[in-house]
Structure 1
Amino acid sequence: MFTCKKTYADIPFAHRQHRHDGHCAQIHGHNWSFTFTFGCEELDECGFVVDFGKLKPIKAWIDENLDHACVFNEDDPLLADILAINEASGCKVYQPYVVDLCSSEGIARHVFKVINPKVKDMTGGRAFLISVEVVEDSRNSATYEPDRS
């Protein structure tokens, strides 16, 4: 198998981990990076796993959904109130984005599930996503890689 990686860095967004017993339960932000590892058995006509120049839809999805967003767990008990405050402000205090789990691990899994079908579509099913690594402020990271067995 051939592999390659593409990293998108310095994407600012916030999250709130309501289950945490420390400061992470508060809305707080990081500069995030995403490293996508792509794989294929057969290279394209240029000898690439993926053409990095044709990955603009991935960057566009990140910019549209996560850049300067605030990510929440779908089961956050305050989610409805938080969203109502955002709407009532009349100026959208933040851009909410709701996922199953807004930890680094959960975000990695969510992004994998969103981006892998896009990669397969862009390459006619030839290439696929192997993993997504999410980095918080260059100090902490988590990787999601599904079991392929």
Structure 2
Amino acid sequence: MYRITKEFHFSASHQLCHLPDDHPCARLHGHNYIVEVELAAAELDANGFVRDYRELKPLKTWIDDALDHRHLNEVFGHDMVTSERLAKEVYEFCKARWAETSAVRVSETPKTWAEYRP
């Protein structure tokens, strides 16, 4: 199996309103997110690619337009915008466009990652 990944960055705020008041994530706060999308294929295309990285531009455009410098609770319409849920949202965006999408990882901090992989 061949696998490729591409990384995207954005900054946004969120608030985990369902947590107890004394939990720091219950307060409005922000992150410099890193999103990593993985695509996999058993065979390469005629150009020797799983997928040309340039074809992932719609993901960059969506991230820049819909997520960057936004309040993610408003973007997704609920108060549980965790990295885990964000990974699934990005995965679904990608899978609808590129069948080779196999996983999405999201980082809020340099030490933490969440992944959605069906």
Question: Residue 99 of structure 1: CA displacement?
Answer: 5.1
CA distance in 2, matches of 1:103, 1:2: 29
CA distance in 2, matches of 1:57, 1:45: 22
State the one-letter code of the partner of 1:111: V
Cα–Cα, structure 1 residues 3 and 99, in superposed 2: closer, same or farther, change >3 Å? Answer: farther
Q: Is 40-49 or 27-36 further displaced after alignment?
A: 40-49
RMSD over equivalenced CA pairs, Å: 1.4
Length-normalised TM-score, structure 2 = 0.90
CA distance in 2, matches of 1:35, 1:99: 23
Cα–Cα, structure 1 residues 41 and 31, in superposed 2: closer, same or farther, change >3 Å? Answer: same
The gaps in structure 2 that reach 5 residues or longer are: none
Structure 1 runs (4+) deviating above 2 angstroms are: none
CA distance in 2, matches of 1:35, 1:51: 16
- 2:90 is aligned to 111
1:69 aligns with 2:70: yes
Q: How many residues align?
A: 115
CA distance in 2, matches of 1:106, 1:38: 19
The gaps in structure 1 that reach 5 residues or longer are: 73-95, 121-127
Identity %: 31
- 1:3 is aligned to 3
Q: Which has the higher contact order (CA 8 A, sep 6+)?
A: 2
Matched residue SS, 1:38: strand
